[in-house]
Amino acid sequence: MDAASIISGWKRGQFSPFYWLEGEEDYFIDQVVEAAENSLLSPSEASFNLTVMYGRESNWSEVLTNCRRYPMFSERQVVIIKEAQYMRDIEKLEPYFENPLASTVLIIAHKEKKLDNRKKFAKTIKEKGIYISFKKQTEREIAEWTESKFKAAGLRITDRALILFTDHLGSDRSRIEKEIEKLALNKNEEQEINEDVIEKYVGVSKEHNVFELQAALAQRDFPKAYRIIQYFKENTKAAPVQLILPLLYAFFSKAIMIFGTDQRDERTLASILGVPPFSIKNYLNAAKIYGYPGLERNLLLLYQYNLKSVGVGSSADDAALLKELILKMTLVQQ
């Protein structure tokens, strides 16, 4: 079950006494909470039967009191606990989870932290209610989700434009949706969303971005990588070092995974690495050009330069560190 199936179930009148939502993908948790807060009850019903609580400010006994209250002038009441991960003694709600009130719909937004599956508390939640752990999605899943949002908005986007768009915005789905809305407002009747459109309206250079930096490093192309770093130096908001280093580390981490499989089909490899099929060639190039020892060395360099970027053993500025890093990656003998 996912966020969409919960919300569609509500529209069909299907309710569970409680929903435990946890994990790293805040967007989907927020999506369910927003639907519960704004759609489960009419405005007149909500004034008597909607209770929103916060984990930092509430305790388990207050939650229990609210959940055991019967609805007024409505078939059900809705109780929402936001930031439930901060609630002390939340496990004392277990007796309620074992015997919940059918007329109460309880939504627990337990972000970041996860249940301890060894405990009876977790088993009770999974047996008596709806439990979903929203795992951090792969690069491929984010790209597919983003492409589906473009299609839903009636837009076509090229593969390279999609890479440029998702690399720039990452997994911030709320921002992705806002940018797609902006593109939909500005597009011409038959205009395809290409790299020029992304550059113009999203504000990311089609030639100087992290994806192109990855491609340059995958080809061991120092001049191109250097030009991109120089652009970043002159446009400090384009790609801060705190964004660049983790993305490069993720790139080389996935490239080294190629040596752990005997698969050679590109689509299968893309699935194993969790990347869109149209970007797999960069990973294959990196694996071929650097080999396993070279990729391993690059990962070590990235770890070292990440420490330097926060002032451990170096006082150089970000651009100088990046130039030194790519020099060692591309020109120094592996």
Nearest to 82 by CA among 103, 115, 116, 107: 107
Topology of domain 210-330 in CATH is Zinc Finger, Delta Prime; domain 3 (1.20.272)
For residue range 190-199, list pLDDT tens digits in order.
Answer: 578 999 889 8
Contact 146, 27 (CB under 8 A): no
Which range is least confidently modeled, 25-34, 113-122, 171-180, 325-334? 325-334
pLDDT at 187: 73
Pick the CATH number of 3-134 from 3.40.630.30, 3.40.50.300, 3.30.470.20, 3.40.50.410: 3.40.50.300
d(CA 107, CA 50): 11
On whether the CB atoms of residues 159 and 278 are closer than 8 A, the answer is yes
Q: What pLDDT, on the 0 to 100 scale, is given for residue 121?
A: 95
Determine the Cα–Cα distance for residues 189 and 15; give it in Å rounded to an integer: 42
Give the CATH number of domain 139-202.
Answer: 1.10.8.60
Q: pLDDT digits over 92-138, tens only?
A: 999 999 999 999 999 999 998 888 889 999 999 999 999 999 988 88
Which tokens sit at 189?
């009747």
- Confidence bin at 170 (pLDDT 50/70/90): confident
**Confidence at 249, pLDDT banded by 50, 70, 90:** very high
Question: What is the spatial distance between Cα 260 and Cα 162, in angstroms, rounded to a whole number?
Answer: 28
pLDDT at 332: 64
Long-range pairs of 201-205 with CB within 8 A, sequence gap ≥ 24? 202/165, 202/168, 202/169, 204/164, 204/165, 204/168, 204/238, 205/231, 205/235, 205/238
pTM: 0.75
For the chain, give every domain's residue range.
3-134, 139-202, 210-330
Q: How far apart are CA 149 and CA 137, in angstroms?
A: 16
β-pair partners for 104: 77
